[in-house]
Amino acid sequence: MLAKLRGMLGDPAAVDELIAALDTTEFDPRILQGSMAEFAHLPTPVDALILSLGFAGDRRAVEPILRKLAQLRPDTPLSHHRAVAVALERLADARAAAPLAAKLGEPGMSGHAMTAIESLYNQPVAKRRREGALREIVLARALIHCGDFKGLGTRIMAEYRRDLRGLFAQHADRVLGGR
C-alpha cells in the first residue's frame, strides 16, 4: 500500500487512507522467524499501518492509535505494543498520556523490572521475564514523550534504572537523562 510508504516518509496526506485501513483491520498474528523473533522488532502489516500513522505526524492519527492501544493485553504480540508505543511517541500528543498510564496500570502490564537476582536459566523460555519488560519499557517511554501522566513513566523508568539486566538499565537511564 502506497499510503504506508507515504506515511513513513512523513506525508500527512496519507493519513485518511491509513486511518480507514486501520479502523477496519484487527491485529494480526506475530511474525515467527526463529527462537528470538519475539524480542526483535518484526512489524506485522497492521504494525506497519500504525507506525505509518505515527511517522506521518498528523494529530488525526492519535484517536485511531488509541483505539488499538485499548485492545492491547499482556498476551498480545510484542510487535503490536511496540508499534502503538512508537507511533504515539512520535506524535507526542498529550491526549495519549492518560490512556497509556491506564494501560500500564492494568494487570500484567507493568512490574517487570528485575531488581534482585532470580534463577531463570532453568525456566522455560516463556518464564524468563523478557517480553513483559520489553512491553513495559516501550509503553513507559511513550508515556514520558506524551506528557507523563502523574509521573508514572518516570517512576517506571527509575525502577528500570536499577534493573539487573544492563540493557534495560542503560535504556532507562538514557530516556530519563538528567531526571
pLDDT for residue 130 = 81
Sign of CA dihedral 171, 174, 178, 179: negative
pLDDT for residue 128 = 58
For 126-144, what is each residue's pLDDT tens digit? 555 688 999 999 999 999 9
pLDDT for residue 123 = 63
Question: How far apart are the C-alpha atoms of 133 and 11, rounded to whole Å?
Answer: 33
For 83-110, what is each residue's pLDDT tens digit? 999 999 999 999 999 999 999 999 999 9
Query: Higher model confidence: residue 125 or residue 26?
Result: 26
pLDDT for residue 38 = 53
For 28-77, what is each residue's pLDDT tens digit? 887 766 555 555 567 899 999 999 999 999 999 999 999 999 999 999 99
User: Which residues make Cβ contacts (< 8 Å) with residue 19, sequence separation at least 6?
Assistant: 53, 60, 61, 64
pLDDT for residue 127 = 54
Q: Read off the DSSP letter of residue 156.
A: H
Question: How far apart are the C-alpha atoms of 67 and 34, rounded to whole Å?
Answer: 30
pLDDT for residue 135 = 95
What three-state secondary structure class fits 175?
helix
pLDDT for residue 41 = 63
C-alpha distances in angstroms, 73 versus 20, 133, 171? 23, 14, 23
